[in-house]
Amino acid sequence: MTFKALLLTKTAEGATRSELAQIESADLPEGEVRVDIAYSTLNYKDALAITGKSPVVRRFPMVPGIDLAGTVAESSDARYQAGDAVLLNGWGVGESHWGGLAQQARVKADWLVPMPAGLDARRAMALGTAGYTSMLCVMALQAHGVKPADGPVLVTGANGGVGSIAIALLARLGFEVHASTGRMDESAHLRRLGATEIVDRATLGAPGKPLQKERWAAAVDSVGSHTLANVCASLSYGGTVAACGLAQGMDLPASVAPFILRGVTLAGIDSVQAPFAKRVEAWRRLALEMPTDLLEENTATIGLGAAADLAPRLLAGQVRGRVRVDVNQA
């Protein structure tokens, strides 16, 4: 039995090469569950892996794709039976273990999440890791007591996958949402998602004062670097920022001033190794709380063969919202 996959290899010069390949099912890595994949996604991390712009891939050859959703084909673990609908995010899949940009995967049972009621593979992968991470951010803000009455919440990287879904989730919960973006021409789309104010990212992306005017009660940040530092410096007393990304950089050129003078909380969000119970809760809430019409408007669907060509554009910030990959489409 063979299946199609996007396969990454290293050239003699050390460059990453991607190609559509036909692979034997017997060559899949070890795991208790084999999944027939229906949909995957194209995320920022996937684009880094495909282009080789960052050393995301830990070993070659590699099938990228940190997300997958489909149906169990066979399982040696009692928790899953053939025919069960499942999804997966993280756990090093697409980095050190063959991932979701393929028609099949074999994975550890511990990595899977049963498909929640109200979702199918197509809708789940319109959300993907970006949607799941967005919900983890929302859950973190709520756990720290952030309420709509406290004031506006800023979402950075607003046109990206995490940012766009975070806007819709927060707006549905009654928050006033401000959206930071470098693509001001997308303002109308961000307002449809639920943003009430659009902030030019240039106002946040350069070095700033360690303590600035209090503008937001909380924030969801997927950018990092100077942007995250300026966001922390601009939160109201007792504010919380959920930090989940590094689109601008891994550095944090910040001061302790917001933390010791305003009691600001910097809550780190890890989606890769989050425990099972938290994953299940995040996906349960996504199934209930993400408006279907906004989700589809925010999602483009491509075939497996188009993923490699789109990856550089995604890294360049030229892709709006989410990219769902139909692995059975050319």
Tokens of 41: 């996604």
Same domain, 141 and 174: yes
Residue 240: how many other CB atoms lie within 10 Å? 24
Same domain, 141 and 173: yes
Residue 114 near residue 75, CB atoms below 8 Å: no
The rounded distance, in Å, linking the Cα atoms of 43 and 85 is 22
Does residue 286 fall inside a structural domain?
no
Tell me which DSSP letter residue 234 carries: T
pTM score: 0.94
Domains: count for the chain: 2
pLDDT for 117-130, tens place per residue? 999 999 999 999 99
The rounded distance, in Å, linking the Cα atoms of 135 and 105 is 25
Same domain, 141 and 79: no
pLDDT for position 330: 78
pLDDT for 207-248, tens place per residue? 999 999 999 999 999 999 999 999 999 999 999 999 999 999
The rounded distance, in Å, linking the Cα atoms of 330 and 328 is 7
Q: State whether the Cα torsion 37-108-50-12 is positive or negative.
A: negative
Same domain, 101 and 222: no
The domain that holds 99 is classified in CATH as 3.90.180.10
pLDDT for position 197: 98
Domain housing 219: 129-268
Written in H, E and C, the secondary structure of 120-141 is: CHHHHHHHHHHHHHHHHHHHHH
Same domain, 156 and 256: yes
Does residue 273 fall inside a structural domain?
no
- Of 327, 221, 271, 308, nearest in space to 93 by CA: 271
Does residue 156 fall inside a structural domain?
yes
Residue 253 near residue 225, CB atoms below 8 Å: yes
